[in-house]
């Protein structure tokens, strides 16, 4: 086992889901859009707190817990991706530059996400794509 291996408490390897991989690739693509300065965690607050607490427990911060590397959730996948009956939902929260109109930046982020989802091998039935500005400048 290498330092890069991620395991469960039972010692089994953790394989990132397709949605986790999509979220990571979207985060990289979104940061490449002109005018985007930063991405923020777009998961619902309660879900983020629970996931981060579980991640902390997996690292063995509690007394007597086995040391297990956490699944990389928060820092590597700030974009929220979920699947429902109507299709894929993607939420992106960004900081935008003052040097470019915020609406133009949001349209470009939307287009990048829509193109990436459309290019998925299984197709991309999209329910919603939400781009939110959390900070300007």
What is the average pLDDT score of the chain? Answer: 78
Domain residues of the chain, as ranges? Answer: 18-43+76-136
pLDDT at residue 39 is higher than 50:
yes
- Residue 83 binned pLDDT confidence (cut-offs 50, 70, 90): confident
Element (H, E) at 102: helix 102-118
Structure tokens at 31: 């940061």
Rounded to whole angstroms, the Cα distance separating 31 from 76 reads 12
pLDDT at residue 94 is higher than 90:
yes
pLDDT at residue 2 is higher than 50:
no
The more confidently predicted of residues 52 and 75 is 52
Over residues 36-48, the mean pLDDT reads 81
- Residue 6 binned pLDDT confidence (cut-offs 50, 70, 90): very low
- pTM as predicted: 0.70
For every residue of 12-42, DSSP letters joined together read PBP---HHHHHHHHHHHHHHTSTTEEEEE--
60, 66 in Cβ contact below 8 A? yes
Please report the pLDDT score of residue 28 as a whole number.
92
Over residues 17-23, the mean pLDDT reads 82
Tell me the fold of 18-43+76-136.
Alpha-Beta Plaits (3.30.70)
């Amino acid at each position: 086992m290498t330092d890069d291996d991620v395991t469960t408490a039972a010692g089994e390897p953790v394989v990132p889901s397709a949605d986790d991989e999509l979220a990571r690739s979207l985060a990289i693509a979104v940061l490449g859009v002109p005018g985007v300065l930063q991405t923020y965690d777009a998961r619902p607050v309660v879900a983020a707190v629970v996931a981060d607490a579980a991640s902390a427990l997996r690292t063995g911060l509690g007394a007597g817990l086995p040391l297990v590397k956490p699944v990389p959730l928060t820092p590597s996948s700030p974009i929220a991706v979920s699947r429902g009956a109507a299709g894929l939902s993607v939420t992106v929260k960004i900081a935008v530059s003052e040097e470019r109109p915020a609406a133009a930046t949001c349209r470009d982020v939307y287009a990048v996400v829509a193109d990436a989802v459309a290019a998925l091998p299984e197709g991309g039935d999209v329910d919603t794509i939400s781009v939110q500005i959390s900070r300007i400048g």
